[in-house]
Amino acid sequence: MKLPQKVLLVFLVLLVSICYLWNEDRLQYIKSDRLVLHRIANQSELAPPMWWSKFLCKTKSRENDSNIVLPVLMRDVTPALNKNVFLIESACKSKPTYRAWCAVESFSRENPEADVWFVMTSPTVNDDEGLPSRLLQNYTNLHVVTTDLGTVFKDTLLEEFFMSGRWHRDTPWPMIQLSDILRVALLWRFGGFYTDIDTVCLKNISPLRNFVLAGRSARNQIANGAFHFEHHHEFLAFLMPQMIAEYKPKLWGSMGPITMTKCIKNLCKIPDMRQIFPSNSSEPVKCGNITIIPNEYLLPYPWWEYEKVYEPGKWQEFMAQFKNKSYSIHAYENKSKRLKIVQGSDSVYEGAARNFCPFTHPLLA
């Protein structure tokens, strides 16, 4: 039976109207795997600030139609066990740096079988230039989420310490103290790989399991900028109370490299890390069910050589030296943020970004 022309016309008008509304910015939905994110229509869409946000969110972000409301970790979406990569933005920035997005993109790109979680303390992410939505659309394993920190720490050995607020009192770096305990809590709960956001992933990190990383201070310290442990690994259970015991609010890294080094020395009965890591060795060292890996795997340059990462024309030289060794580079943004990334300079960072974070690369400067 043929439909009357008037019915067909009404149907077509209705279909066009629906398509128009679907594409309108204020109603635009960005679908990414199991998550549905949407743009802010008004302030009432945002949940009230958490008690801890006033200690992290020093500047109030301006919410607008380009901000994406983020799903809440463990409320709207929960990671599977032991297939995760976690990156953390703990300073409550709704607009992370492009270098942070490069890290997020590179780990998503090089690890398609892993779920990559960019865990933010801001409830929204700014999408003015469309980069977050573009990454979510192109990397189905990427999840950008906000977090209710109380839920993450609940029923962990760090819960009482977090709820006491000691991490933000009398310290110049509340966001650093929070990041140090949050990365451990996330791996304890869900298992996986943690990395800082001033990095670029160069290849799949799945071979790196249950490891800590030797730092570059004469290889006598364990770094906490990257590590992997499975869900409820006993090292993390040992580490968490030690972090609280060793906490000194005015000492940088007291709950990070300092505590992690003490724990490894204690568990592995190593008075001096140099005794098990001979100079020029690139072989990992086993200690029970923990692997200690050499710095060049993830820290090919020590922090005091951070300028080398931005020196023009060094990308090919770097690859010739480290291609078979390094899984990522560390850019030391705390030291290097004043250094510009020059497009086409072929520095180590620019070359890595060009090859491993192609959507973010054109925006870097």
Q: Which domains does the chain have, with CATH numbers?
A: 23-363 (3.90.550)
Q: How far is CA 191 from CA 88, 147, 209, in A?
A: 15, 17, 10
- Which residue from 272, 290, 341 is spatially nearest to 101, judged by alpha carbons? 341
Q: What is the pLDDT of residue 14?
A: 58
pLDDT in tens, 28-56: 334 443 344 555 445 555 666 788 888 88
Could you give the CA distance from residue 214 to residue 273 in angstroms, rounded to a whole number?
8
Q: DSSP of 247-274, one letter per residue?
A: --TTSTTTTTHHHHHHHHHHHHT-S-GG
pLDDT on residue 5: 63
Secondary structure of residue 172 in the 3-state scheme = coil
**Sequence-separated (6 or more) residues with CB below 8 Å from residue 63:** 40, 43, 46, 124
* pTM passes above 0.75: yes
Q: Which residues of the chain have pLDDT under 50?
A: 1, 16, 18-36, 40-41
pLDDT at 219 (0 to 100): 56
Give the pLDDT score at 77: 96
Q: CA–CA separation, 135 vs 360, rounded Å?
A: 9
Chain centroid offset of residue 355 CA:
19
Torsion of CA 172, 258, 118, 303, to 10 degrees: 90
Output the pLDDT for position 20: 41
Q: What is the pLDDT of residues 88-123, one digit of tens each?
A: 999 999 999 999 999 999 999 999 999 999 999 999
Residue 9 is predicted with a pLDDT of 58
Average pLDDT over the chain reads 87
Number of Cβ within a 10 Å radius of residue 166: 15
CA distances (Å), 272 to each of 7, 268, 283, in order? 83, 11, 17
- Give me the percent of the chain exceeding a pLDDT of 90: 70
- Per-residue model confidence (pLDDT) at position 303: 86
